[in-house]
Amino acid sequence: MADDAEEVAEVGPPEQLPPPFLEVVCKSSGKRRRFAAGTEAGFAVRVMNKKLEGGSPFALYIEAVKEGEEGVAFGPNSALVDYGSGWRLQTFTEEDYAGGDKGEEFRQKMARPAPFQNAHGSGVAMDVGKPAISLAYIGKILVAFILIFVLGAIFTLALEYLPVLILSINSIM
């Protein structure tokens, strides 16, 4: 028993764990929003944009910044992580570009889809704005089902009258 008590006493201080949340500074509103570690950056941007008041520019993405270092941008499916002391997470808006020409160029890039490059290097623009299921698509599927059932009925009738056809051919011969 005495040995067990000594072993417990020799255990060192508990490890310092990072906080269970991350703070992201919204540059549009100036507020800090807390998110669980590992939250997708796209989700965090949507939440912050929903809480913005009218007239404030929307956040486009989240980046980690540190004085004297190049920023690290998080894509929409990236998990938010803490890079340690000195790094902070903040949103990036289109107003962060200096000058109106650059901001207009950025808006145009965001508005049009990026071209798809195939193996030969020729680009074919992807159509992002069209919904996957349209009314015409559903109509084509219904027509296909009707044709399948009509074709099935024709074959069923042909098989039903096949013995009669064979008997009439044999009687003629």
Whether residue 62 contacts residue 49, with contact meaning beta carbons closer than 8 Å, is answered with: no
**Would you tell me which CATH number, out of the four given (3.10.150.10, 3.40.50.150, 3.10.20.90, 3.30.420.280), belongs to the domain 21-115?**
3.10.20.90
Token pair for 96: 């962060």
The predicted structure's pLDDT at residue 104: 56
Closest CA to 92 of 77, 72, 67, 114: 72
Long-range contact set of residues 14-21: C-beta below 8 Å, sequence gap at least 24? 18/82, 19/82
Of 68 and 121, the one with more pLDDT: 68
Report helix angle 135-160 to 162-172, nearest 10.
40
Tokens 């796209």, located at residue: 42
Domain positions in the chain: 21-115, 135-172
Please, which residues bridge with residue 88 across strands?
Answer: 65
Which alpha helices (DSSP H) does 27-118 contain, by range? 41-50, 100-111
Q: Tell me if the pTM is above 0.75.
A: no
Token pair for 153: 């009925």
pLDDT in tens, 33-92: 888 888 898 898 888 888 887 777 888 888 988 888 888 888 888 888 888 888 888 888
What is the spatial distance between Cα 61 and Cα 88, in angstroms, rounded to a whole number?
A: 14
